[in-house]
Amino acid sequence: MARQRSRKYLAGLFIFLIMVSLSVASKQALAASAQEIDREVKVALEQLYSQSPAAVKISKVSKGVLVFPDMVKAGLIVGGQYGQGALLINGKNAGYYNSVAASYGLQAGAQSFGYAMFLMTDSALQYLSKSEGWELGVGPSIVVMDEGMAKSLTTTTGKDDVYAFIFGQKGLMAGIGIQGSKITRINPDN
């Protein structure tokens, strides 16, 4: 009886993940317009800044901030994540990007989250603009901030190329990461 219940649970989870995957695929097919991305980026930054004083401090000295307001991640053994965002330099849009990742391993569930990458050096900003797709983990050094690290970060102790803040997590997925993601410049419709 317990075995039958487990199978029903797994079948239900599998159907749910297929529906989420189809939702992600349709989201990709119906790419957001530039205005939609701009609006979502603005709201996401406001949310991040209201939750993280460290993000506010670091934003004042960063060369640019790459914001992905709505990443969607789903998986059952094989997983993937996708989202669109924008690069802001001095508060102005300097281009649109997508972030894509695939993963394999013991995983099940679906989740959405946002992340912002504060580019602290001219070389990090140049790497993003010159690369034909930035694979995170290759190129500039990235530090993913957690609450404890964020509390001790100041503009004088921040010496790495890029600081990433993950925020707004919703859903059920064991763990979040941006390592292995590939960021590519896009040209959304206006």
* C-beta separation of 88 from 41 below 8 A: yes
Q: pTM score, two decimals?
A: 0.76
**What's the pLDDT score for residue 83?**
94
**What's the pLDDT score for residue 155?**
47
Q: What are the start-end ranges of the E strands in 90-161?
A: 92-119, 134-135, 142-145
Percent of the chain with pLDDT over 90: 42
CA distance 79 to 18: 11
**What's the pLDDT score for residue 8?**
54
Domain count, the chain: 1
Give the residues across from 72 on adjacent strands: 82, 112
Q: What does each C-alpha distance from 66 to 20, 26, 163, 190 come to in angstroms?
A: 25, 24, 10, 19
* Location of structure tokens 């580019």: 119
What mean pLDDT, rounded, does the chain reach? 78
Which of 17-21, 115-119, 124-128, 157-161 has the weakest average pLDDT? 17-21
DSSP assigned state of 33: P
**What's the pLDDT score for residue 146?**
64
Percent of the chain with pLDDT over 70: 69
**What's the pLDDT score for residue 75?**
84
Give tens-digit pLDDT for 67-107: 999 999 888 878 888 999 999 999 999 999 999 988 777 77
**What's the pLDDT score for residue 26?**
41
Which of 40-54, 87-101, 139-153, 168-182 has the weakest average pLDDT? 139-153
Helix (H) or strand (E) segment spanning residue 23: helix 2-29
Two tokens, residue 171: 């859903």
* C-beta separation of 33 from 189 below 8 A: yes
Domain extent at residue 24: 2-186
Give tens-digit pLDDT for 121-137: 999 999 988 887 777 65
* Location of structure tokens 């000295």: 61
**What's the pLDDT score for residue 133?**
77
Which residue type, as a one-letter code, is found at position 108? A
Q: Are strands 92-119 and 134-135 parallel, antiparallel or unpaired?
A: unpaired
Nearby residues of 188 by Cβ (< 8 Å), 6 or more positions away = 31, 32, 33, 34, 37, 84, 96
Two tokens, residue 57: 């401090």
